[in-house]
Amino acid sequence: MEKINIKLDNLNKVFPDEFNQEQIAKAKTLFLKKLAEESHKFYEGKIQTVPKAPVLGFNWFNVWYTPGVSKVSTNIRDNNESSYELSNRGNFVAVVSDSTRVLGDGDCTPPGGLGVMEGKAFLMKYLGGIDAVALCVDSKNEKGENDPEKIIQFVKMAQHSFGAVNLEDISQPNCYRVLDVLREECDIPVWHDDAQGTACVTLAGLINALKLVNKKISDVKMVLYGSGAANTTIARLIIADGSDPKKMILFDTKGSLHNGRNDIKADKRFYRKWELCEKTNPNRVATMEEAMKGADVLISVSTPGPNTIKPEWIKLMGNKPIVFACANPVPEIYPYAAKEAGAYVVATGRGDFPNQVNNSIGFPGILKGALLVRAKKITDNMAIAAAHSLAGFAEKRGINTENIVPNMQEAGVFPEEAADVAMQAIKDGVARINMSREEAYDKAKKDISYARDMTTSLVESGFIKQPPQKMLEDSLNWAISQVKK
């Protein structure tokens, strides 16, 4: 067997020739899961804390700690804003979760979310030049129920140590209240990446996909399959950017959303879903088959597939249909199957398929932009500005049906996105400090380059070890054996 490239490039070439496309897709998923398990064991996680100031002799401990640091404490006491200059607060993000909706695996218990939350911190550092820490909390009350008020109280208490908070993997409907309350009651930006991040990057992909099919966002008929935190926020952001809600139909596990869904109206916790019931699907279209007739766009953030979205549904769509199948870790329909059914542009949430519509190109730049100007919150306008920044960056370097959004390897996208978000924060009146776009871009680029160069240096010097080749090969062989069973 050909040895796998240590950078995991060209994964398709390492599987047996007799594997068909579905078997290759399944084997890749199993391989990446197994390799993730083994790699996390090998490195014991993927985040550590290192000093950013030197120790040039014994007395420097008296500068970084007592008695010298007393002056720092009293300065911040007298002017809390100085905490952004005298500590790492201005570039520090809390990644907060109760781990009740971890990827497609549901409630994983509080520590079960650490892999994802450390992953967020990892990407923030490498892609956005941001320091972050994973904080997985227990949100259960005395009745054993997950209580949004416990998360709200925790974040409000902890906010003074951070420049921003990234909420992650909090189940519906608690996620709505947690975000909406904290956005208004915290003095720092609170961002829910599952909802706002997914919506931002999906909008970016949609903007460019529509350019390729020469259609306007205000004219197209859209079907959204799944009505969780992600898709309801996607719908809200797309509408805010010009989509006609009367041409939009959403589905949840009980059917389509419309103003006759009294079950949603009666449960006040689902107020975000009810808002969409009132705005969308005025004709009360009831079935996916009826909804998909002539549809231009399908956006699915639902149950992991690969048979959640039926090929026969896609065959009902209009000219040059756009299909986003974004469930993780397995899309609701594999791209090859969607294209065989007639899809013109297909996107998923995975990086091993073309058109990865993934939060990873969104939140590092968005949070960096908010931090640069010490924003008090992240507005919907800032998220929309980020989406257009991402779409514009991709369009400038060229887009096609297999390449509609930037990817994580395109380091230049993140300072551009950060600068555009920072400028929108100033325009929206939520920034504490002003700066020019050039200043924001230069600062973001400098911090991102520093983080990447530091990581490279740690690898080259041996402080971060290379993953063993045998670990990769064993994981690959295991995945192949599972598919052959």
Sign of the torsion formed by the C-alpha atoms of 314, 318, 322 and 327: negative
Residues 6 or more apart whose CB falls under 8 angstroms from that of 371 comprise: 90, 91, 93, 130, 163, 164
Contact 425, 371 (CB under 8 A): no
- For 322, the 3-state DSSP assignment is strand
Cα angle value 129/130/136 (rounded, 5°): 145
- For 277, the 3-state DSSP assignment is helix
Query: Given the structure tokens 């290379």, which residue do they identify?
Result: 466
Tokens of 416: 């551009």
Annotate 166-227 with DSSP letters as a single string.
EE-S--TTHHHHHHHHHHHH-SS-EEEIIIIIHHHHHHHHHHHHHHHHT--TTT--EEEE--
Beta bridge partners, 95, equal 134, 166
Calpha distance 179→175 (Å, rounded):
6
Residue 95: its H or E element? strand 92-97
Which residues carry out catalysis?
65, 120
